[in-house]
Amino acid sequence: MFRILKNFFSFCSEEDRKRFYVSIVLSFVQAMFEALKIPAIACMVKALLEDKVEARTCLICLGIMLVSIVGSGISKSKATMLQTEGGYGTCAQKRMKLAEHLRYLPMGYYNENSLGRIMSVTTNTMQNLENVATRVVMLVCSGLLTTAVITVMILFYDIRIGLILCGGLAVFFAVNSGMMKVSAAMAKQKLEKDSALVAKVIEYIQGIAEVRAFRLTGQHSRELNTAIDENEHANSAMELKLIPFMTLQSFWLKGVGTLILLASVLFYIGGTMDLLTCIVMIISSYLIYAQLDNAGKYSALLRTVDASVRQANEILETPQMDISGEDIVPESFDIGAEDISFAYEQKKIINGISLSIPERTCAAIVGPSGGGKTTLTSLLSRFWDVDSGRVTLGGRSVRDYSMDALMRNFSFVFQRVYLFQNTVAENIRFGDPDAPMEKVIEAAKKACCHDLIMSLPEGYDTVIGEGGASLSGGEKQRISIARAIMKDAPIIILDEATANVDPENEAELMKAVEALTKEKTVIMIAHRLKTVRSADTIFVIDKGRISQKGTHEELMGQEGIYRSFVQSRQEAASWRL
């Protein structure tokens, strides 16, 4: 229990940790105030037994009781406020820290770890800590401290009753330890099922078109229902396995209270305890375990807190790419690769590639599917780090640059465009968050999407669906290009940017690409002949190597993949129905 609390406090930020520490001190103060009820009761009982109930005695007892109630209420209120601020503050900062940490993880991490697990940690796990941790820490700390203070006072009144109380506490903590062990295994399973459920829901929603198209509704519904059932079973199993322990704890505490009551009466009958102490002990037997009972019931959730902290730390402890380079401004925008290699899960994807792309030239990368084209561009822009060799920008290794300094030089237009659920203007402003509206409109005009945007219900203030669901592929591409134009980076990477565009949008999209790439260093992955033949250099990638290199005319004069590629495209273009 104490180890879990220590781990949780270590997880908190320094400022929030101080809040929790102060709240624990206030919980101790609250316990002291709560304990004042015993001397107040003792004072009144003594006056009753001696038949000396006077106004002064009543006022003293009332004063002590008021001090107890008011002091307890104020200290509890302040402690609760600090713990709430600490809990929500910690989770808010950890969410931002997780987002910042995820930003600099190698892209391979997202292949190894499902989106559902990452989302579950950043949402469910953090929500568990927000809502559960604060209450659990408060109740457990308050219950332990209040019981400790009252136990000391009982020992002061009568050591025999105090020893009975200590023995009862020893058995209570033994039962609680057993419950914590059961909770440890169940909490891990619960969080795993939570992650699995989130992953399955995301998969089902994202693939709903394919599910309908291929009549897989029943199958995928069953998979989703199975995940829901398993999640429900894990949560129910956890509760059912913990209920016997919580019931035993509660009955045991009440039993010890009854034992204290009986022992006090027997000691009085035996003449070894005076009537005043006997009555005080009887009354105290109803007060001793009230808060400890609550602490015991909620302590099982400490394992959920511990598992949640561990899941978040697993992400935070995942090694980032080395981003500690310098804030360098390159002397030129030449891009080079020197004998670079890269493997993913033991599979060699890039094998000894060397190339040079001078600034303000256009390089096209073509080749069979699975040959390593996208991986190569990811290595050139340092989405991944090479296993061996060196990638350079302006003659310096990309590792010399800090990640932010490096990314300032690149703009990307991907085949699958992602637009955020925000206004059109804000989606374009991702390229320059502080840009005025005039600059946004200028970028949209260059990307040939101004008229499209103005046709939307609220123009640039129209909120588009998550992922750009309310727009066509070509429309999303043009807004993506406007975003890249807004950034105005000197190097542009186009990854199949025109692959899935309908003919109606192609002409405008090509104008947008031309506006984006003017006077830039361009690296494009493309399958369309018209977007490749004008490139200054064409690299043909096959099985992780450069199999051919040259201009369109040079490669057409050679036997090889490129000429076969062009001929197959020309034959396809000549087909008539």
The per-residue pLDDT for range 319-359, each reduced to its tens digit, is 777 777 788 888 889 999 999 999 877 788 888 899 999 99
**What single string gives the DSSP state of each residue in 358-406?**
-TT-EEEEE-STTSSHHHHHHHHTTSS--SEEEEEETTEEGGGB-HHHH
SS3 435: coil
> Could you tell me the pLDDT band of residue 420, with boundaries at 50, 70 and 90?
confident
Residues 155-160 have a mean pLDDT of: 84
Locate the DSSP E strands across 478-528.
Answer: 491-495, 521-525
Average of per-residue pLDDT values in the chain = 80
What does the pLDDT look like over 194-244, one tens digit per residue? 777 777 777 676 666 555 555 555 555 677 778 788 878 877 877 787 788
Q: What's the CA gap between 558 and 564, in Å, rounded?
A: 10
CATH superfamily of 2-316: ABC transporter type 1, transmembrane domain (1.20.1560.10)
Query: Considering the domain 335-573 in this protein, what is its CATH number?
Result: 3.40.50.300
Q: Is 452 helix (H, G, I), strand (E, B) or coil?
A: helix
CATH 3.40.50.300 spans which residues of the chain? 335-573
CA distance 577 to 575: 7
Distance CA 141, CA 150 (A): 14
Q: Is the pTM of this model over 0.85?
A: no
Range among 185-189, 395-399, 508-512 with highest mean pLDDT value: 395-399
Q: Predicted confidence band at 576 (pLDDT cuts at 50, 70, 90)?
A: very low
Within the chain, which residue ranges are assigned CATH 1.20.1560.10? 2-316
Q: Is the pLDDT of residue 500 over 80?
A: no
- Distances from the Cα of 364 to the Cα of 13, 390, 509, angstroms: 48, 20, 18
